[in-house]
Every structure is written in structure tokens, then in C-alpha cells.
Chain A
Amino acid sequence: NAGVTQTPKFQVLKTGQSMTLQCAQDMNHEYMSWYRQDPGMGLRLIHYSVGAGITDQGEVPNGYNVSRSTTEDFPLRLLSAAPSQTSVYFCASRLGNYGYTFGSGTRLTVV
């Protein structure tokens, strides 16, 4: 059972480039979400989805796009990367009211 898988683990982008961070879960969880972790700020919610075809914005959605075409996958797109998006990104999923399962993260640097 792989849990929540994030790829890539590391990425360096130039300002203005676009890319997609991948997230997949094999637990048939309804709820998936993306967080970013910055020093002293904890984890802040970017976007979330309560099921296939349904997405919504979190606390810090600007500059990011998501879609949920299947239960398993929840990719996060950076439309035009900026240095302020340098962060560690975590994908998480949960079933019902149980605790979240997090992926191991993607460390993104925008230069």
C-alpha cells in the first residue's frame, strides 16, 4: 500500500516557468488537499477537493491551479512560477473524518 505519492521530490524552476506537481493516492480517499510549508508559517492550505470533479480554494490559492478528474490523482499546477513560491509542498488525503495521510513532499526552488 503506497499511501500518498508525490513527484518529483525536488525541482528547480526559473521565474515564469510552469510545472505540475503530481499527487496520487491508492486508498480510495475522497478528500485531497495541497499545502505549502514555509519556515515559521506551518502548513497553509492551497487548494482542496472533496471528490472527483470538485475543487475549491484554500488559504493561499493565488498562482496555483488544480483539477480532480479521478479519485486517485490531484495535480497542482504552477502557472507562472515566482520566487515567492519557493517552498515545500505537501499533498494529503483523508477518508471521512479520519486523520490526514501526507505525502513526503516536493521541495521547489524558483530562481
Chain B
Amino acid sequence: DQQVKQNSPSLSVQEGRISILNCDYTNSMFDYFLWYKKYPAEGPTFLISISSIKDKNEDGRFTVFLNKSAKHLSLHIVPSQPGDSAVYFCAASEGAGNMLTFGGGTRLMVKP
């Protein structure tokens, strides 16, 4: 049973609008969460992370929100740009630096 789930396999958004990517987890021991971005034929690259002691972390156009009671996190991209088109993976671990468990990924398409 997948401990980290991304229930939307794909998302299409207009350039300039907000993209919201969602992720749910079941393991209550997870306390560190990350988002990775992956372009075709490349390895995933780290985007942003959040520790369970916070409920929000921002980095430029990217914001991650964590709702511990719902075991849910989301990544907001504002404004979305065509170059953001990629597959986004959320990942979780028990403690920063420990083994990561990944979700299945969401393919984001930002239309010009």
C-alpha cells in the first residue's frame, strides 16, 4: 500500500494562473516532506521542502503547505510559467536525511 499518494496523475493550467499540486500520506511518523521536479530524460531535482514543525514554506514562486491533521501537503506555483511543465513528485521521510518515500507523480502542463 502506497504511503505517499498523488491522486492527480496530470494537471493542466494556463500560464500566469496558479498551479496546485496535492499529496496525501498515511504514515504518521513522516515529519519531513519534499517536492521534486522532473523533466523528461533527466533526473529529479529538488524544489522545496518543509518540516512538520511548520505549516508553510515559501521559495519565490513556490509555496508548500502542510496540514498535519489531514496528512496532506500541497505545492502552489504562482504564477505558473510554461517552463514549469514537468512531472512533480512529493516525498516524505521520518526525519530529514532519512530514507525517502515518493508519491507516484503529477504531470503539470502549463499552456502559453
Q: Which of A41, A90, A94, A98 contacts B44 (CB 8 A)?
A: A90
Identify the closest chain A residue to B34 (Cβ): A99
Cβ–Cβ < 8 Å partners of B43 in chain A? 4, 90, 92, 102-105
In the complex formed, the residue of A with least CB distance to B4 is A42
- Closest CB in chain B relative to A22 CB, distance in Å: 15
Given A40-B9, A45-B99, A48-B99: A99 touches B46 (CB 8 Å cut-off): yes
Please state if A104 and B102 are interface contacts (CB–CB under 8 Å).
Answer: no
With contacts defined as CB atoms under 8 Å apart, how many contacts are there between chain A and chain B in the complex?
Answer: 54
* B39, closest chain A residue (CB): A104
Given contacts A94-B97, A97-B97, A104-B41, contact A43 B46 (CB under 8 A): no
Asked whether any CB of chain A lies closer than 8 Å to the CB of B49, the reply is yes
With A40-B104, A43-B89 as known contacts, state yes or no: A102 contacts B45, CB within 8 Å.
yes
Question: Which A residues touch B44, using CB under 8 A?
Answer: 43, 90, 100, 102
- Contact A41 B104, beta carbon cutoff 8 Å: yes
| Count of residues in A whose CB is under 8 Å from the partner chain | 26
Chain A residues in 8 Å Cβ range of B102: 35, 42-44
Q: Does A58 count as interface, using CB distance less than 8 angstroms?
A: yes
Q: For A4, A42, A98, A99, which residue has the most chain B Cβ atoms within 10 angstroms? A: A42
A53 sits at the interface (CB 8 A): no
- What residues on B are CB-neighbors of A40 within 8 Å? 9, 104-105
Type the 1/0 row for A17-58, where 1 means its CB is closer than 8 Å to any CB of B.
000000000000001010100001111110010000000001
Besides A43-B102, A45-B99, A96-B97, 5 other A-B contacts (C-beta < 8 A): A40-B105, A90-B43, A97-B96, A98-B97, A102-B44
